[in-house]
Structure 1
Amino acid sequence: MRSYFLLVCLAVQSLMAQEPLPVVKPPLVFNPKNPHVHDPVMIKEKGVYYVFGTGKGISKLYSKDLKTWTEGKPVFDKVPEWTKTALPGFDGDIWAPDIIFHQGQFHLFYACNATPGKPNAAIGHATTPTLDPKDPRFKWTDHGKIIQSILGRDTWQAIDGTVFIDNGTAWLIFGSFWDGIKAVKLTPDLMQLKWPEEWHTIARRPSQQKPYNYGLEDSQIEGAFVYKHGDYYYLFASFDMCCRGINSNYHVVVGRSKSITGPYLDKAGYDMIDGNGTDFAIGDGKQYAALGHNSVYRIDGKDLFVAHAYSIPDDGDSKLVVWELEWDAQGWPILKR
């Protein structure tokens, strides 16, 4: 049986809206043999699409048509050396990468967590001049950690990093749970935080926990991604829980701002710093139970939404999904029907 993917796009005008949820058609780019991936990010070089995701050494897929995918070798063949001192016990399962091209190099940002579910974590950085392994210039160079969160010191978590370059200024957007999503400036070469630090909290969800409890029962936000369209910066984030197969309830929300540092408001005008966000995409409960940790790109004249979704027919396996985005009359993103 061909497995179709349905999503629900919500456009609510208030938090109490009770309008029926519109069901959309299968995505523009869909293949019943979609590969396994988690926390996907994508970039294109010389006609080839590359997708990087969570996994041992950072997983890699590549395709020329967004339909037929081939698994490539992981970025790292061993645990990054810096983690042995910074994160004793880290096992090499690298989370939630991000990839951008800047100043003649492909920059890959990645997260290492030695105590999953707690902020014993750091974000690292590696570069290569090309993604083509057949090119003699191909070589990943690891530059070590950029930022680290410490148990008992921090209520933010150094994972899920993504970089946005705004009029020449580089920002690292990162974080999950507890004190939410942060934005901090990077140096122009993207190698380290720019000092003195300029920190901004741009989104969080309410928590009833005592400081440093690090429970996962509330404040469930992560996977932030910033995308510029027109005059607005759009902050996408994933609410609720991933990584539970068909029992996941992960879904994507969005807000927008005239400034990269916020405030990011949802369609009803509520600030994401207070736990708000307009529901953007959720699973349909038939083919996919949930989806999230998305990224958005302008490639070949199209805006593409990339995420992972938990497939019900495949017992909750996490699958790659790619969908074209459109924009409504008020400038809000919608998944193309």
Structure 2
Amino acid sequence: MKRTRLATAVAAAVVALLPTTASADVTYPDPQPITGQQIIHDPTVIRLASGGYVAYSTGGVIGARVSRDKKQWDDAGNAFAAPPAWWYEYNDTGDPWAPDISFRDGRYWLYYAVSSWGTNHSAIGVATSPTGLPGTWIDHGKVFSSERTDAWNAIDPAVLRADGKLWMTFGSYWTGIRMVELDPRTGKALPGASVHHLATRPDAPYAVEGPYIVRHGAYYYLFASYDACCAGVNSTYKIRVGRSTSVTGPYVDSTGKPLLEGGGELLLAGHGRYVGTGGESVFRDRGEDWLAYHYYDAKDNGTPKLGLNKLTWKSGWPGLT
């Protein structure tokens, strides 16, 4: 009897120390409600000068979605009618991954990656468009590439301007997140440019990827996806962030732990039906910052769908609503 009571008491104590599903769920906000074509992977979103929004993503020949109000999204085909011929150097199907859209110098710029699963024989390319809409893109070829002898993987590009220069973050596994300076005229990597190291994990396979940097106040904020993508309801993707006063780092979390030593402030993780939140990007809309990402819908057989949440800023760190 005493052993039974003791065992019961120990079990109760252990359960009390464990986070419940309910308490974990309320930690993170659900994505904003949307309708229409919700299926997406690795979204990049921009508000167009012509009005409305376009989102590009992994899948198809860079799949496109359009919206007038950020709520109803409609399928808009693909950025390109067919893969540019050089893509086939990196996979047999000419399959592009993880695009990034931006606007500068009167044009829209679309960066993307071509690779194949499990290799860092990869390349990042760029295209431009006067309108940002699918079917109007002109491809300009390779921006930067990596080979099996490199310690980085040239996928998951994201571009920003900082300190009068143009930069591109990239990286997936292979010791993590990197950065290289671009030529503003061509949008391609400067010859001989240094490859900066921004974030990694302490152990192989160094599961961090999908970087995106934004500036807010005195800091640059590096968002990245940690852990495992692309496994439906078994995905463990989550979004972490670090900050730095310099665009090239070092980036640290709120405890001061460097992202180069496995640090990272947890911003969003799976909760409830919203599994494996990641593949993120940030876009500006009417003076507000928004986080776009995908999640795997546990109530729809793990289908990847678009998540949108407004970014808030408090005490120098981002939050979500």
TM-score by length of structure 2 reads 0.89
The correspondence for 2:139, drawn from 138, 142, 150, is 142
Same amino acid, percent of matched pairs: 39
Query: How big is each residue's C-alpha offset from its partner over 1:91-117, in whole Å with a ceiling of 9 and x where there is no partner?
Result: 12210000001111100001001x311
CA shift at 1:131, angstroms? 2.5
Separation in structure 2 between the aligned mates of residue 183 and residue 69 of structure 1, nearest angstrom: 32
Equivalent residue letter for 2:127: A
Q: Secondary structure at the match of 1:38?
A: coil
Equivalent residue letter for 1:43: I
Match of 1:9 in 2: none
Match of 1:312 in 2: 298
Number of aligned residue pairs: 299
Q: Does 1:35 align with 2:29?
A: no
User: Are residues 116 and 67 of structure 1, via their aligned partners in 2, closer, same or farther at CA, if it must alter by over 3 Å?
Assistant: same
Q: Secondary structure at the match of 1:96?
A: strand
Match of 2:310 in 1: 324
Match of 2:234 in 1: 247
The correspondence for 1:107, drawn from 106, 109, 121, is 109
CA shift at 1:196, angstroms? 3.3
Q: Does 1:158 align with 2:154?
A: yes
Match of 2:256 in 1: 269
Query: How big is each residue's C-alpha offset from its partner over 1:20-66, in whole Å with a ceiling of 9 and x where there is no partner?
Result: 65534544x31365610000000111221100000121000000111
Separation in structure 2 between the aligned mates of residue 257 and residue 291 of structure 1, nearest angstrom: 24
C-alpha contact 1:111 1:123 (8 A) present in aligned 2:
yes
Separation in structure 2 between the aligned mates of residue 32 and residue 310 of structure 1, nearest angstrom: 16
Q: Does 1:59 align with 2:60?
A: no
C-alpha contact 2:238 2:278 (8 A) present in aligned 1:
yes
The answer to which of 40-49 and 254-263 deviates more is 40-49
Q: Does 1:167 align with 2:152?
A: no
The correspondence for 1:282, drawn from 226, 244, 269, is 269
Equivalent residue letter for 2:61: G
Q: Secondary structure at the match of 1:270?
A: coil
Q: Secondary structure at the match of 2:125?
A: strand
Separation in structure 1 between the aligned mates of residue 29 and residue 207 of structure 2, nearest angstrom: 29
CA shift at 1:155, angstroms? 2.2
Match of 1:228 in 2: 215
Equivalent residue letter for 2:64: K
CA shift at 1:169, angstroms? 0.4
Separation in structure 1 between the aligned mates of residue 29 and residue 225 of structure 2, nearest angstrom: 22
The answer to which of 199-208 and 252-261 deviates more is 199-208
C-alpha contact 2:241 2:266 (8 A) present in aligned 1:
yes
CA shift at 1:121, angstroms? 1.0
Q: Secondary structure at the match of 1:83?
A: helix
Q: Does 1:47 align with 2:43?
A: no
Q: Does 1:188 align with 2:184?
A: yes
Richer in helix (by share)? 2
User: Are residues 112 and 24 of structure 1, via their aligned partners in 2, closer, same or farther at CA, if it must alter by over 3 Å?
Assistant: closer
Aligned pairs for 1:76-155 (under 5 A) are 76-84=80-88, 86-87=89-90, 89-113=91-115, 115-132=116-133, 139-151=136-148, 153-155=149-151
Q: Secondary structure at the match of 1:256?
A: strand
TM-score by length of structure 1 reads 0.84
C-alpha contact 2:47 2:284 (8 A) present in aligned 1:
no
Which gives a bigger RCO, structure 1 or 2 (Cα 8 Å, sep 6+)?
1
CA shift at 1:207, angstroms? 2.7
Separation in structure 2 between the aligned mates of residue 207 and residue 273 of structure 1, nearest angstrom: 11
